[in-house]
């Protein structure tokens, strides 16, 4: 009968060690017993970017990168995108089960009745320059919310956690809309709880006191599906930050501000904005081959391509590509789509991309849709933030309720000076 262990032989000493294996994983801590001298610290694992390190045990999202599979609490993303709604998916991610009709109605009511911002917060937006990046405003607004809701620091109280979850999911669309309206110098539209989640968001963005105003249902639905597709993605960079700040028992607003800051990076959620800039720079389908050659020379990366986990087509990109054409029926075709489709075609036939298993990811087509919906590129990552909020919150709840979790505090391999005495300034140089 084989044992669930590894036997490690340290060739430096000839000693052998039996290390337990669970879920095809070893506990890094079990390596510490491997030493040459008993007074040593012991053996660590080294994993820059945490490419092969599990930070937690989770039951929220499953990804199979080789097969291009994404499931939330076991449900395939394709079915949720087709049959569910964003608020229902948010409930699923946070509570672990699809809601009953009554649970969903109460959940939607609670969230849609936590959409107003404190007037002090409304004043916050007026402090920003007209050209402040909306993600900078979003990150600031999240941190500002922690100053308003002081009870949020009681993160071990489930009722307190739930109240903050209502507030964050309810208020983030209002924050995003106020960011946009501040940027374009228009008065704020206050939320309307009689509308649906994405319908209310589009209303707050767009309403200019027309006598007869209706949100286009095709656009509201498309945005709802896009939010579903962005809702969670296991231990990505921004979720890792959410968990890391959460592990210090900071309040969820402060943790969300940190997570949003990570998402802002062009290698992460900022890629959708970078994709549109890239496609605009390419300018025409005939320029695609030359651009691909520059990528292959290493001049820059193909934004919206590649993924740490997916070594196959990102299942979200497939769905988003389909939604794009549904949106174009309403908004008119975005000419960048032709460049994107040609870029994808050429790249997927090229050995450089094939050998590195580089495929379109969630950001490759999403920016094209947002642009067609008349969102400015610097609002794209704000939209990603709205979509990812329930995922960050679900992961945060799982963290604070996991008895195995401790404060995140990685080790290092120290390669600096061993010891040296202070040098007076007169003797330097
Ligand atoms: C998101 O983690 C998540 O789940 C993220 C996300 C989520 O939902 O939270 O899915 C959202 O962030 C999607 C990714 C958006 N970012 C981009 O589209 C930016 C462009 N992509 C890359 O920068 C890159 O692909 C990453 C950052 C996404 C992944 O980088 P990895 O896993 O660290 O890969 P790597 O840097 O080790 O690259 C492996 C090879 C390298 O070539 P070699 O040095 O071996 O010759 O592939 C090359 C890289 O140069 N490569 C690319 C490339 N991405 C990787 N070459 C050209 N274009 C690219 N986009």
pLDDT at 130: 92
Atom of ligand 1 nearest to the CA of 306: 25
C-alpha 305 to ligand 1 mean position (Å): 7
Protein residue whose Cα sits closest to atom 42 of ligand 1: 356
Helix pair angle (380-400, 362-372), 10° resolution: 130
Count how many Cα atoms sit within 13 Å of the Cα of residue 91 in the half-sphere of its side chain.
20
- The beta-carbon contacts of 7-15 under 8 Å, at least 24 apart in sequence, are 8/34, 10/34, 10/36, 12/36
Which domains, from first to last, does the chain contain?
74-267+378-400 (1.10.580.10), 271-372 (1.10.230.10)
pLDDT at 270: 86
| Mean pLDDT, the chain cut into blocks of 10 residues (429 residues total) | 91 98 97 97 96 97 95 98 98 98 98 96 94 97 96 97 98 98 96 97 96 94 97 98 98 98 93 92 96 96 93 92 93 93 94 95 92 94 97 98 96 96 96
- Which one of 268, 338, 350, 402 is the catalytic residue? 268
268 Cβ closer than 6 Å to some ligand 1 atom? yes
What six digits make up the tokens of 389? 């909020």
292 Cβ closer than 6 Å to some ligand 1 atom? no
Place of tokens 């990046």: 133
Q: Which of 304, 297, 250, 251 is nearest to 276 (CA)?
A: 304
SS3 category, 390: helix
Q: What is the pTM of this model?
A: 0.94
Active site residue 307: yes
pLDDT at 1: 66
358 Cβ closer than 6 Å to some ligand 1 atom? yes
Active site residue 159: no
294 Cβ closer than 6 Å to some ligand 1 atom? no
Name the residue of 307, 360, 363, 366 whose CB sits within 8 Å of the most ligand 1 atoms, as the mutation to test its pocket: 307
Active site residue 363: yes
What six digits make up the tokens of 122? 């409304």
Is the torsion defined by CA of 204, 209, 210, 213 positive or negative?
positive
C-alpha 239 to ligand 1 mean position (Å): 17
235 Cβ closer than 6 Å to some ligand 1 atom? no
303 Cβ closer than 6 Å to some ligand 1 atom? yes
CA dihedral 379→385→387→388, nearest 10 degrees, is 160
């Amino acid at each position: 009968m084989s044992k669930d262990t590894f036997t490690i032989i340290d060739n430096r000493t000839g000693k052998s060690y039996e290390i337990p294996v669970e879920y095809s994983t070893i506990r890094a801590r079990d390596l510490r017993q491997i030493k040459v001298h008993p007074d040593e610290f012991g053996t660590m694992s080294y994993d820059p970017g945490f490419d092969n390190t599990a930070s937690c045990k989770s039951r929220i999202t499953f990804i199979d990168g080789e097969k291009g599979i994404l499931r939330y609490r076991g449900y395939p993303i394709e079915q949720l995108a087709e049959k569910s709604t964003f608020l229902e998916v948010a409930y699923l991610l946070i509570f672990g089960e699809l809601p009953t009709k009554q649970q969903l109605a109460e959940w939607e009511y609670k969230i849609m009745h936590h959409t107003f911002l404190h007037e002090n917060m409304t004043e916050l937006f007026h402090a920003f320059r007209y050209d402040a990046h909306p993600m900078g405003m979003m990150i600031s607004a999240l941190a500002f919310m922690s100053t308003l809701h002081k009870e949020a620091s009681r993160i071990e109280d489930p009722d307190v956690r739930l109240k903050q979850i209502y507030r964050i999911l309810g208020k983030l669309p209002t924050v995003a809309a106020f960011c946009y309206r501040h940027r374009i110098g228009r008065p704020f539209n206050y939320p309307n709880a009689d509308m649906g989640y994405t319908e209310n968001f589009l209303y707050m963005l767009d309403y200019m006191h027309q006598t007869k105003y209706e949100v286009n249902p095709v656009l509201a639905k498309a945005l709802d599906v896009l939010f579903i597709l962005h809702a969670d993605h296991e231990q990505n960079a921004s979720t890792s930050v959410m968990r890391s700040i959460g592990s210090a028992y900071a309040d969820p607003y402060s943790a969300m501000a940190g997570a949003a800051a990570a998402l802002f990076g062009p290698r992460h959620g900022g890629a959708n904005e970078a994709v549109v800039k890239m496609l605009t720079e390419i300018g025409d389908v005939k320029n695609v081959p030359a651009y691909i050659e520059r990528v292959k020379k290493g001049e820059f990366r193909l934004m919206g391509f590649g993924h740490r986990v997916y070594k196959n087509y990102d299942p979200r990109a497939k769905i988003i590509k389909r939604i794009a054409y549904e949106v174009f029926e309403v908004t008119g075709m975005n000419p960048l789509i032709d460049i994107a489709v040609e870029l994808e075609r050429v790249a997927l036939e090229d050995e450089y991309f094939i050998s590195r298993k580089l495929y379109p990811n969630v950001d490759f087509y999403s920016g094209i849709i947002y642009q067609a919906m008349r969102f400015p590129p610097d609002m794209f990552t704000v939209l990603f933030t709205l979509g990812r909020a329930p995922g960050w919150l679900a992961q945060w709840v799982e963290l604070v309720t996991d008895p195995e979790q401790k404060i995140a505090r990685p080790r290092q391999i120290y390669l600096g000076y061993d010891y040296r005495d202070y040098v007076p300034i007169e003797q330097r140089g």
